[in-house]
């Protein structure tokens, strides 16, 4: 084969050059030619050789960053208690917890027996267990290190224990492609049963008897669409199909009711949902009935349903986005209560929580005595609770929430065991290590908080850091719109306009960038970096409307918001406008690509992690993983000429300009099923041949190299294992810090 037929694998000091093999595309009268589509054949030795050549080039170009990467990895390690454990969580007759051990990549799932004394508070107070010290009768139920031994990748897609505590169902991925194999282990012997089901999706639960497991199967585009029941000891071919969703734009999933008497099946996308229920028989061998529709998709509601028993009668708590009694929209959701007998008639629903323009209700959970609501107010997630007694009547209690001393924090529901007097909360902030709290609801109107654990961060002093909320006007679209920014820095950072800055963003799928302490981020802050999170439209920080104004034909707002936020930060006096870098992953990687096309002059460097930079090509192919489901986020360019035109105007791969760009590191994984490796592989080739910036001078000397780093054994989240994750983050940060001239600690 001649050299013109393959990737040019010149010395590693020169970037690989992929041959141009034009593939024309025409939709709605618009034509585009893709020169690098051939790189999508991951089974081709030629493609693998190209990716390996790219990795070799990247290693050569960034070789001088190795000491900095080693230093950052060491800092992450030093700030981490490597031999540790989680707070035990009770389920039935056992306390379950996970251990980590120094030097080991994966957690170890363990349990100890619980006790029942008749004192609910005492019986649901977790036992004190020391890190690294085994307790009497402790049982290891799954050792991730043993499961991963000899495998290139390890991830769990679900784990469930039968009600009698004897069996454990678990789903394992050894490739990173999110295709799991379901197995069942007898915890009395430690041996796996003969039952094995390949190619399942996330999630697995047992029925009430422990003789059946429920699971989902994806279609060819990796959309979970079939829900099945497997009876242990029987051939997979005899598994009972409970539900199949044939609309390619709808997901399917399931969960158990809090009291585990019903299987709740959820079908939907980001704009519409349907909920069905299955009564679970009490006796082994009893046949399963059929699914009952609770809330039909024809109502046009985006909603969630939680079963609850009130005064001996079955009801359903429904969180939904429209007031069907008045026809008014409720974009931030309202909460209603419906009796089982009349749940299909929305006219019978009773309002529990009215719609609020300032508080978004994201979901609900129930215990035997209380209703918990996950809400978002002033950009941050919080947890409210109210008693079930009187719910939906004039005697209904008012919602209460814990009081914390910080302005920007996350307080999220981490567990709501049905019989427990406690709700388990997870609390953190941008500078506060994670805390596990048990909220005792029987103690006074607001309850009592019991601190069960605060993550220890050795060598960390939160008093050295400061968090501020800034608001940047959306200059590019509407100055009346202000973009919330979270700004994190060391307190000793001076306001002299000389500081380096990293701006991070995401802005899609109504996903919010919530407060949380990142140990890795300390390596940036301790080198004088001002770290900014731009909460742009398309995320969920300011409610549903904030999301709606950053999707479909409003998607460009996401990109211009990020640019406006960067300009606002550059003019703040805190940072050097010539020392700003940007970073984002997945849909945030699309954001990075779009921003570089809009305003490349604002940034010195960019790290784009698993970037969705060829969105239009992917969404035009409904056979690609999850593409049809993306239509609710971006629109359907196959059938809608306006959507096609709009996406063609912003999709990064089709809008690269012949101007100076910053240094770019595109990071991807060969087995990623969500954002295919081919997108950044093609993007990097087009960037190199198009942009006018200096790509040959080293990054540390002011050059702007463009590199592609492919994890050959990883998935959407990169390589598996905590130490490899630390290495990945150290690589990303070293690239940015080198570009910003900020490799030294302050």
Residues 494-534 have pLDDT tens digits of 999 999 999 999 999 999 999 999 999 999 999 999 999 99
Residue 177 has pLDDT above 90, yes or no: no
Comparing CA positions, the residue from 91, 261, 227 lying closest to residue 168 is 91
**pTM, two decimal places:** 0.94
Residue among 362, 716, 720, 728 flagged as catalytic: 716
Six-digit token string for 634: 């971006």
Average pLDDT over residues 209-224: 95
- Give the pLDDT band (50/70/90) at residue 445: low
Residue among 195, 239, 321, 672 flagged as catalytic: 672
Residue among 201, 374, 426, 586 flagged as catalytic: 586
Backbone angles phi, psi at 612, to 5 degrees: -85, 65
- Give the pLDDT band (50/70/90) at residue 593: very high
**320 among known catalytic residues:** no
Placement of tokens 């690239």 in the chain: 735
Six-digit token string for 80: 């981490």
Residue 7 has pLDDT above 80, yes or no: no
- Write down the pLDDT at residue 221: 86
Average pLDDT over residues 14-36: 96
HSE (side-chain half, CA atoms, 13 Å) at 63: 7
How many Å apart are CA 215 and CA 248, to the nearest integer? 19
- Give the pLDDT band (50/70/90) at residue 12: low
**716 among known catalytic residues:** yes
- Write down the pLDDT at residue 2: 33
- What are the respective helix, strand and coil percentages of the chain, to the nearest 5? 20, 35, 40
How many Å apart are CA 60 and CA 56, to the nearest integer? 6
How many Å apart are CA 79 and CA 603, to the nearest integer? 30
- Write down the pLDDT at residue 147: 95
The overall average pLDDT reported for the chain is 94
Residue 65 has pLDDT above 80, yes or no: yes
């Amino acid at each position: 084969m001649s050299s013109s037929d393959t990737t040019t694998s010149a010395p590693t000091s020169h970037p690989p050059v992929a041959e141009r093999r034009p593939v024309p595309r025409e939709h709605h009268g618009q034509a585009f030619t893709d020169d690098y589509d051939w790189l999508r054949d991951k089974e081709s030795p030629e493609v693998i050789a190209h990716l390996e050549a790219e990795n070799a080039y990247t290693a050569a170009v960034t070789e001088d960053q190795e000491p900095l990467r080693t230093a950052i990895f060491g800092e992450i390690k030093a700030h981490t208690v490597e031999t540790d454990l989680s707070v035990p969580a009770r389920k039935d007759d056992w306390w379950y917890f996970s251990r980590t051990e120094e030097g080991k990549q994966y957690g170890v799932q363990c349990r100890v027996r619980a006790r029942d004394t008749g004192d609910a508070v005492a019986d649901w107070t977790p036992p004190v267990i020391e890190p690294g010290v085994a307790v009497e009768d402790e049982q290891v139920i799954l050792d991730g290190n043993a499961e991963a031994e000899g495998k290139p990748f390890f991830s769990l897609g679900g784990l469930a224990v039968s009600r009698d505590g004897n069996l454990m169902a678990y789903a394992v991925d050894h490739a990173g492609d999110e295709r799991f194999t379901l197995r069942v282990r007898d915890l009395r012997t430690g041996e796996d049963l003969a039952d094995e089901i390949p190619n399942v999706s996330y999630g697995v639960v047992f029925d009430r008897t422990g003789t059946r497991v429920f699971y989902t199967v994806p279609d060819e585009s990796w959309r979970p669409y079939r829900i099945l029941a497997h009876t242990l000891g029987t051939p997979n071919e005899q598994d009972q199909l409970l539900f199949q969703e044939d609309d390619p734009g709808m997901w399917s999933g399931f969960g158990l009711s809090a009291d585990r008497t019903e299987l709740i099946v959820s079908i939907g996308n980001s704009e519409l949902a349907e909920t069905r229920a299955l009564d679970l028989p009490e006796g082994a061998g009893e046949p399963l009935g059929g699914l009952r529709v609770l809330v039909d998709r024809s109502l046009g509601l985006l909603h969630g349903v939680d079963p609850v028993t009130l005064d001996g009668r079955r009801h359903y708590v429904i969180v939904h986005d429209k007031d069907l009694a008045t026809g008014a929209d409720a974009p931030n959701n309202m909460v209603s209560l419906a009796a089982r007998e009349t749940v299909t008639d929305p006219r019978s629903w009773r309002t529990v929580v009215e719609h609020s323009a300032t508080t978004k209700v994201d979901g609900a959970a129930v215990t035997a005595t209380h209703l918990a609501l996950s809400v978002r107010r002033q950009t941050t997630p919080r947890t409210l609770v109210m008693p079930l007694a009187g719910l939906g009547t004039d005697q209904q209690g008012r919602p209460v929430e814990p009081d914390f001393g910080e302005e920007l924090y996350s307080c999220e529901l981490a567990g709501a065991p049905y019989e427990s007097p406690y709700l388990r909360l997870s609390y953190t902030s941008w500078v506060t290590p994670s805390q596990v709290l048990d909220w005792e609801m029987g103690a006074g109107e607001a309850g009592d908080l019991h601190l069960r654990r605060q993550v220890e961060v050795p060598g960390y002093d939160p008093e050295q850091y400061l968090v501020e909320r800034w608001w940047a006007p959306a200059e590019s679209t509407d100055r009346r719109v202000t973009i919330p920014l979270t700004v994190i820095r060391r307190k000793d950072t001076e306001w002299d306009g000389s500081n380096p800055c990293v701006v991070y963003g995401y802005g899609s799928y109504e996903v919010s960038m919530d407060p949380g302490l990142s140990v890795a981020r300390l390596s940036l802050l301790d080198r004088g970096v001002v770290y900014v999170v731009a909460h742009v439209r398309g995320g969920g920080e300011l409610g549903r409307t904030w999301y709606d104004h950053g999707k479909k034909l409003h998607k460009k707002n996401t990109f211009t918001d990020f640019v406006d936020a960067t300009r606002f930060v550059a003019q703040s006096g805190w940072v050097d406008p010539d020392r700003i870098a940007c970073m984002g992953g997945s849909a945030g990687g699309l954001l990075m690509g779009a921003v570089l096309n809009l305003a490349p002059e604002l940034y010195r460097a960019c790290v784009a992690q698993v970037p969705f930079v060829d969105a239009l090509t992917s969404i035009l192919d409904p056979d690609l993983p999850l593409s049809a489901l993306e239509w609710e986020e971006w629109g359907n360019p196959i059938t809608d000429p306006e959507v096609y035109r709009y996406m063609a105007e912003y999709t990064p791969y089709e809008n690269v300009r012949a101007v100076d760009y910053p240094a770019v590191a595109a990071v991807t994984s060969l087995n990623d099923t969500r954002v295919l490796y081919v997108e950044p592989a093609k993007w990097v080739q087009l960037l190199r041949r198009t942009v006018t910036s200096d790509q040959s001078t080293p990054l540390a000397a002011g050059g702007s190299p463009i590199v592609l780093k492919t994890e050959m054994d990883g998935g959407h989240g990169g390589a598996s294992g905590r130490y490899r994750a630390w290495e990945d983050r150290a690589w990303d940060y070293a690239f940015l810090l080198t570009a910003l001239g900020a490799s030294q600690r302050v």
